[in-house]
Structure 1
Amino acid sequence: MTDWLVRTFLSGVSTTEPAGRTRYGQFAGIVCIICNVVLCIAKGIVGFIAGSVSIIADAVNNLSDASSNIVALLGFKLASKPADDEHPYGHGRFEYLASLTVAALVLAVGINLVITSVQKIISPEPTEFGPAVIVVLVLSMAVKSWMAFFNGSMGRRISSETLKATAIDSKNDVITSGAVLAAAAISYFTGFDLDGIAGTVVGAFICWSGFSLVRDAIDPLLGRTPDPTLIEHIHDKIMSYPGVLGTHDLMVHDYGPGRQFASAHVEMAGEGDVFASHDLLDNIEQDFLKEGLVMTLHYDPIVTNDPRVADMRHWISIHIKEIDPRLTIHDLRTVPGPTHTNVIFDCVRPHDLSMTNDELRAAISKIVTSKYPQAICKITIDNSYVSSQQ
């Protein structure tokens, strides 16, 4: 059905362009609002007739979901605004703010449900169980299952954290409705009222879900580690060009879906034509731009015609992994002298390495001088801004 809806209402709309992403996101929001409002009305009527706080709470949860969908709609609209003088990187992070707002609403609903359910445990009231309760809850589970699939599919099409969060919320609603149905059935057949207990459990589950969504929404705003798949793609693409010997110091900045900027250093032979090297880097940057990634590359010339330097670079790069297998070096060069040789290079350390920079320099120097006693290491420590597995 999702494909039919896309073909019918979004035919020819690109998912890579900001305007296309906005239309996809807004369409998903409208569909979800309609579904949630219908479910809210149906559950509200049945819950009021049956006197079930858990069913009424489930109805309120659907109303909250509809409010979240409205927030998501607004987020997509604001995120589509073009760049201006005050925001040269665009307004894409509005989508992340929308995700955070949705998560906060989910958390607030969960807290309110727990309070209401605890009150019913303290002051219980009879709950009716009949065909209407069964029908509305089963219908809710079916609709929410489809909504979870729909939002997940749409979220993957446009790489939207907001829609992915909505899909998770819909999956949670399936579980909560199932819990309400089970509690109502048990209460009816055993005479033991589980409505307040079920409401409390459902509320606690919603709170946990809301907390997880808040955490996931905050991550991109704080600047989370880039997707390892993206890092691998960037690395492999740069290394695929002739003349490229290595790449390092990769940084990726996320200003919202489809608005990513990256920079990296590229090692090339220092003996080559500098103009040809610069031209190649320009071509690589333009190829990344075609993929929607704004890339800035820095040219690092390295010596390739001195086998002693090449052997030293290779030996050091292997043996520093005795300290930590994630350590890497780059830009190694030497300045020979009559009594000693300055060995100058950069070392990239993972952020969670327990050693200080001075301790790391001392440990590396000890390893290098064990092989090259005349070496004096001049080491610059770089922090890794991508996955430490790279």
Structure 2
Amino acid sequence: MEEQRFNDLKLGEKGAIISIIAYIILSILKLGTGFISGSEALKADGLNNATDIAASVAVLIGLRLARKPADEDHPYGHWKSETIASLIASFIMMAVGLQVLYQAITKISHGQEESPDLIAAWVGIFCSIVMFFVYKYNKQLANKINSQAVMAAAKDNLSDALVSIGTVIGIVGSQINLPWLDPLAAVMVGIIICKTAWEIFRESSHHLSDGFNEDTIKSFKQVVLDVDGVEGIKDIKARSYGSNAVVDVTVLINADLGFQEAHHVTTKVEDALKSSSHEVYEVHIHYEPHETNKQSKSV
């Protein structure tokens, strides 16, 4: 199980590397074309991709740190490095989004007299298509290996594809004697960047503060209650370590059962939880005696 998760993290690094390569190429293309064509929106988009390189590098480092085995300082392993990487990526994206907004709003207030060259629009279309395919790849990879960091990278990829589409709309619109549409598109770029950063920050901080999805907890409860020998559940909790879930559960077992029989029931509970979801990495079980006069299972 642990070896498989290390292999999944290694596979996740491939997605981060693909994102880095794509961002390097597209940021150079967008920034260069933006300066040549005079498009504020394309330059803002290029700056966004340039900082996405740093965010993707943070994800890559986080995935590699998460693969480190447990040691004296980290008895539960380094799994949370993946979530920390997502958090750092959100900070970088938010800083860039605010910078793009500031520059675009300043440009609108001063007025833009000339429309950018139409070549900027073609570059924007090309980049949008490239990022959409990178997004599809990383999303499928994130779902396959259940990686928060790779999914954060995929969301960033999708926002970049949408940003490029918005950039194209602003550039094309500025061609019909509305040059202010180009910096306005840059404002929209900044808003989308900030929104994506906030979503990634909210999810990462939720996991780091030991928050856990309530619906998933309910599904874990049902799995435990379906195990033969379990009379009820006194308490059940779960917390995330990167893309892994550790479940703590206190079950009620018939007080008349011997130690070996009770232990066998808890083993079945552990196996059932791990089989129910590849997210479950470790299960801590405590059992207490249950009054035999109660006929139905309880939670």
Tell me whether 1:183 sits opposite 2:170 in the alignment. yes
Once residues 221 and 3 of structure 2 are traced to their aligned partners in structure 1, the CA distance between those partners, rounded to angstroms, is: 22
Letter in 1 for 2:234: H
Aligned to 1:303: 291
**Closer/same/farther in 2, CA of residues 287 and 229 from structure 1, 3 Å limit:** closer
**Closer/same/farther in 2, CA of residues 89 and 209 from structure 1, 3 Å limit:** same
What percentage of residue pairs aligned between the two structures are identical?
25
Question: Are the aligned partners of 1:15 and 1:158 in contact in 2 as well (CA < 8 Å)?
Answer: no
Which is higher, the Rg of structure 1 or of structure 2?
Answer: 1
Aligned to 1:270: 255
Aligned to 2:228: 242
Q: Which moved more, 1:139-148 or 1:291-300?
A: 291-300
CA shift for structure 1 position 283: 4.4
**Closer/same/farther in 2, CA of residues 191 and 243 from structure 1, 3 Å limit:** closer
Higher RCO, Cα 8 Å, sep 6+: 2
Q: 1:252 aligns with which of 227, 234, 238?
A: 238
Aligned to 2:44: 57
Report the TM-score when normalising by structure 1. 0.70
Q: 1:214 aligns with which of 190, 201, 205?
A: 201
CA shift for structure 1 position 53: 1.4
Report the TM-score when normalising by structure 2. 0.89
Report Cα offsets for 1:306-331 as digits up to 9, x if no partner.
4xxx48xx7xx9xxxxxxxxxxx76x
**Closer/same/farther in 2, CA of residues 138 and 303 from structure 1, 3 Å limit:** same
Tell me whether 1:294 sits opposite 2:282 in the alignment. yes
Aligned to 1:25: 12
Aligned to 2:212: 225
Q: 1:261 aligns with which of 246, 249, 256?
A: 246
CA shift for structure 1 position 247: 2.0
Letter in 2 for 1:44: L
Letter in 2 for 1:302: H
Tell me whether 1:122 sits opposite 2:109 in the alignment. yes
CA shift for structure 1 position 194: 1.8
SS of residue in 1 equivalent to 2:176: helix
Question: Are the aligned partners of 2:217 and 2:238 in contact in 1 as well (CA < 8 Å)?
Answer: no
Once residues 248 and 180 of structure 1 are traced to their aligned partners in structure 2, the CA distance between those partners, rounded to angstroms, is: 55
CA shift for structure 1 position 101: 0.7
Q: Which moved more, 1:139-148 or 1:245-254?
A: 245-254
Tell me whether 1:92 sits opposite 2:92 in the alignment. no
SS of residue in 2 equivalent to 1:188: coil
SS of residue in 1 equivalent to 2:231: strand
**Closer/same/farther in 2, CA of residues 288 and 194 from structure 1, 3 Å limit:** closer
Tell me whether 1:76 sits opposite 2:63 in the alignment. yes
Report Cα offsets for 1:110-161 as digits up to 9, x if no partner.
101011112211333423222x223211101101111221111111111111
**Closer/same/farther in 2, CA of residues 118 and 226 from structure 1, 3 Å limit:** closer
Report Cα offsets for 1:262-306 as digits up to 9, x if no partner.
2212222223334322333234335656765322222222222x4
Unaligned runs of 5+ in 1: 1-13, 318-328, 331-390
Question: Are the aligned partners of 1:288 and 1:294 in contact in 2 as well (CA < 8 Å)?
Answer: no
Question: Are the aligned partners of 1:172 and 1:206 in contact in 2 as well (CA < 8 Å)?
Answer: yes
Once residues 142 and 274 of structure 2 are traced to their aligned partners in structure 1, the CA distance between those partners, rounded to angstroms, is: 23
Letter in 2 for 1:128: P
CA shift for structure 1 position 79: 1.0
Letter in 1 for 2:60: L
Once residues 17 and 263 of structure 2 are traced to their aligned partners in structure 1, the CA distance between those partners, rounded to angstroms, is: 49
Once residues 88 and 59 of structure 1 are traced to their aligned partners in structure 2, the CA distance between those partners, rounded to angstroms, is: 42
Once residues 217 and 236 of structure 2 are traced to their aligned partners in structure 1, the CA distance between those partners, rounded to angstroms, is: 11
**1:99-178 to 2 correspondence within 5 Å?**
99-125=86-112, 126-130=114-118, 132-178=119-165
Report Cα offsets for 1:25-72 as digits up to 9, x if no partner.
211111111111111111112111111111111111111112211111
Once residues 236 and 268 of structure 1 are traced to their aligned partners in structure 2, the CA distance between those partners, rounded to angstroms, is: 16
Once residues 19 and 274 of structure 1 are traced to their aligned partners in structure 2, the CA distance between those partners, rounded to angstroms, is: 35
Give the aligned length.
295
Letter in 1 for 2:236: L
Aligned to 1:195: 182
Letter in 1 for 2:8: R
Once residues 29 and 282 of structure 2 are traced to their aligned partners in structure 1, the CA distance between those partners, rounded to angstroms, is: 49
Question: Are the aligned partners of 1:144 and 1:174 in contact in 2 as well (CA < 8 Å)?
Answer: yes
Question: Are the aligned partners of 2:26 and 2:46 in contact in 1 as well (CA < 8 Å)?
Answer: yes
Question: Are the aligned partners of 1:271 and 1:303 in contact in 2 as well (CA < 8 Å)?
Answer: no
